[in-house]
Amino acid sequence: MKIEKVNGYCLSSHYGDGKVFGQPLGVKSIGVIEVVTDNGFVGIGETYSAVYVPELIEPTVNFIESLIVGMNPIEIEKVYDSMDIPFVGMNGFIRTVIGAIEMALWDIKGQIEQKPLYRLLSETNVNNFDVYSSGGSVTYTPDEIKKDIEKIPFDSYKMRVGVQSWEDDKKRVRTAREELGSKDLMVDAIMGTLNTWNRETAVDNVNSLSNQNLTWFEEPLHPANLKDMKWLKIETNVPIAGGEGLSGKLDFESYLEIDCLDIVQPDITYCGGFTRAKKIIEMAKEKNKKVALHVWGSSISLMSALHLSIATDVDWLEVPTVKLDILSKEFEMIKQIIKNKDYSLQNGLGIKVTNDTKNKFPFVRNSGYKIQK
């Protein structure tokens, strides 16, 4: 059996209420990778980078394809090593594409061995993990936060802050806390509102919410700012979370060695695929850290994270509440699987992208995430 073809493409759809922060067209794109074998198996993966630079997915995949066509798809590490381009493949954008191809290889392996993917990652483990609803747009008013919480599928809730005045944000957080009662509340500053907070601002803002019983405060500073992240963890009394923007095992090793996070948040569609994500989780547990899998993609991303959550010692799984039309029926199905804890899943990943789906959601150019000034 050989890899015959690797396809990379983007799908786009209406997103949320059409006024989601960072998506000025009211559209979101996802990056899908398909690995096709010479005997008809098709595996799929998703790359988080399509949220930001969707136009780069197809040409990047076309180049990487030339490195692995003809290889055995179930020799996953050998294929991965062939894609691991010196310097540029170590982390960042290309790492996310390589990781999505690796995800597709695991899907193929599960189909061949007739096992759900989580059983390939662990033959026996069935992990008991918590789930949280992730919404709370930075633009929402307190009333909109209240309405958002009223319709969440899971009791715990994460909201975004950092665009409105800090006094307004504190009111929004207080509203969320009042609505949730004693249930978990998480706050996400989106990389220090995409690198506009300095360390003094971050410390002041985090500590000003210390009376809200937050489960964590996520990314109050840009993830590249290791020195200040360490200082912030020392100077604040709210658990600090981060990791969605780290794209390789070495990045996480640095974070864990410096000890600047309480909760580690790898995203399987960004950190290099199943094997790297599993290793990152193991590294975090060795350092006695909690792990919360980050998910901000389609059903492909959520199902991949679910397999990983079942098979490893993950503490929390994120489930986005903003509606994405692409594979929306599958997304609702996965939520029911999680609620019922019924893990009798299909072989491999268990998600397919049909030609009908591809035709229904054609790629919209210039739909990448943009900061609205």
User: Could you read off the pLDDT of 142-172 as tens digits, one per residue?
Assistant: 999 999 999 999 999 999 999 999 999 999 9
- Chain centre to alpha carbon of residue 210: 26
Report the predicted TM-score, pTM, of the whole model to 2 decimal places: 0.96
For the segment 307-363, what is each residue's pLDDT rounded down to a tens digit? 999 999 999 999 999 989 999 999 999 999 999 999 999 999 999 999 999 999 999
Q: Where in the chain is the domain with CATH 3.20.20.120?
A: 120-349
Instruction: Enter the CATH code of domain 3-116.
Output: 3.30.390.10
> In angstroms, how far is CA 149 from the centroid of its own chain?
21
Q: How far apart, in whole angstroms, are the C-alpha atoms of residue 369 and residue 281?
A: 28
Q: Which segments of the chain belong to CATH 3.30.390.10?
A: 3-116
The whole-number pLDDT of residue 23 equals: 77
**Mean pLDDT, residues 196-224 taken together:** 94
DSSP string covering 300-344: HHHHHHHHHHHHS---EEEEE-S-B-TTHHHHHHHHHHHHHT---
Cα(169)–Cα(139) distance, integer angstroms: 10
Q: What pLDDT score was predicted for residue 359?
A: 98
Please say whether the beta carbons of 66 and 28 come within 8 A. Answer: no
CA distance 282 to 277: 9
Of the two residues 77 and 194, the one the predictor is more confident about is: 77
pLDDT band at 25 (very low <50, low <70, confident <90, very high): confident
Task: Please give the C-alpha separations between residue 197 and each of 112, 139, 141, in angstroms, as whole numbers.
Answer: 49, 18, 21
How far is CA 115 from each of CA 108, 110, 121, 304, 349, rounded to the nearest angstrom? 10, 5, 10, 14, 9
Q: What is the pLDDT of residues 74-116, one digit of tens each?
A: 999 999 999 988 766 667 889 999 999 999 999 999 999 999 9
Q: CATH 3.20.20.120: does it fit domain 120-349?
A: yes
If residue 117 lies in a helix (H) or strand (E), which one and from where to where? Answer: helix 117-121
